[in-house]
Amino acid sequence: MSQQTLEAIVFDKNLDSLKILDQLLLPYKTHYIDIESIDDAFQAIKLMQVRGAPAIAIVGAFTVTVDVHRSLQANEKRTVAELVNKIDYLVTSRPTAVNLSNALNEIKQLLRSSFKDSEVVNEAVFDVIKKYSVALHEGDLDNNYKIGDNGVKYITETLKKQNFQGPFSIVTVCNTGSLATSGHGTALGIIRSVHAQLTKEAGNDFWFEHAYPLETRPYNQGARLTTYELNYEKIPFTLICDNMVTSLISSLSKKRAVKSSTAPVKFIIVGADRVVKNGDSANKIGTFQLAAIANYFNLTSSNEQDKIKFIVAAPNTTVDHNTATGDDIVIEERPPHELTTLEGPLVSKNGSIGEKTVVGIATPGIQVWNPAFDVAPHQLIDAIVTEDYPVHEKQNGEFSL
């Protein structure tokens, strides 16, 4: 296995060059891809070599920066209007994640407020785009640490209100860590912060003991990427399949050990690709069922200490203030082969890693439905944690975003 890294996006401010970590090769191989044009980025985002709503927004912005830089170096002539058309094309690479469209639309607004459509793209245009992109990247990292700290505050307050004592566990889905952002992460960032701050030695009556990342079929971001990050950070965790959550929560609530831990699940923390005005939240497929599972256990328990909180963690850049409810979110459908095949390296009995291959796991030629996301309704969400504090909680059953 090659040297591990959690740096998903590498932008060189001096050379104005961009590299992204090819996440399709993780956790077995570390390889960076050069992004030199908008077309390069479109393919990388579409193929999910880079993924995660904040990360693809940052890559999108840096890509426009690099594309303009290379065009100027080659002395190519194009108008601001032509550049805007290319930016619109890049937005279509992942339609559900609002961060990408938000960032690129802000770049378009900056261009149109400072330049005429007919003007030729020049160094002044480049400077505006680069300044915005660098600020987006640096701001996202700062906001992720704030999300982590706000998540710790919410979790601490919740456990104190419940008079909960002892160790607790957290369930998460997909990958929402450094690999999906500029660093630290959103939902996984909260787990990082909880692991660092809510230790047994911290002096509280409760402490974090274990994380349970879901495999996250059909693309296995949890198995490939979240376990990679948790292992890198030495955070205690156990990987489970998507359909094991109810058994996990039930077993732990009855003090039946899962491996060596009996710490009950107290929180399910997920990221988001789009949060709309009423709090409905689009995230990786399977998120809705996690919210429904938490709701079931809460309805069937009379003990407040047993309640499970369902938390959405996302920066404000993920909030879509123009969409009223989750019914209006466009859900991307992925290609059938992502569900009917598995792709990865051959692993020998002695653990050595071989060549990458594709293995079929379904009857050839069948009909497949493969939505990439679903929408957790706001009624099942307890809190939306952003970089702002206090966290968003419902008043009279409704969020106000």
DSSP string, 102-124: HHHHHHHHHHHHHS-TTSBP-HH
Please compute, for residue 36, the number of CA atoms within 13 A of its CA located in the half-sphere on the CB side.
7
Separation between Cα atoms, residue 179 and residue 1, nearest integer Å: 18
Q: In the numeric block, which tokens belong to residue 399?
A: 């969020």
Q: Which domains does the chain have, with CATH numbers?
A: 9-139 (1.20.120.420), 148-328+375-393 (3.40.50.10470), 335-370 (no CATH)
> Max CA-CA distance within the chain?
70
Over residues 139-146, the mean pLDDT reads: 98
Q: Which residues are catalytic?
A: 273
Q: What is the pTM of this model?
A: 0.96
With residues binned 3-state (H G I as helix, E B as strand, rest as coil), the percentages for the chain, rounded to 5, are 40, 20, 35
Query: Do 294 and 380 form a contact (C-beta atoms < 8 A)?
Result: yes
- Tens digits of per-residue pLDDT, 224-267? 999 999 999 999 999 999 999 999 999 999 999 999 999 999 99
- Tens digits of per-residue pLDDT, 273-315? 999 999 999 999 999 999 999 999 999 999 999 999 999 999 9
Q: Where are the beta strands (DSSP E) in 226-276?
A: 265-270, 274-276
Of 395, 180, 174, give the one whose Cα is nearest residue 268.
Answer: 174
Residue 259 main-chain phi, psi, to 5 deg: 55, -115
What is the chain's alpha carbon radius of gyration, rounded to the nearest angstrom? 22
pLDDT of 209 reads 98
% the chain with pLDDT above 90? 97
Over residues 17-46, the mean pLDDT reads: 97
Average model confidence (pLDDT) across the chain: 97
Element (H, E) at 172: strand 166-172
Residue 80 has a CB neighbour count (10 Å cut-off) of: 20
Over residues 340-352, the mean pLDDT reads: 92
Partners of 34 in the β-ladder: 19
Residue 234 CA, chain-centre distance (Å), reads 20
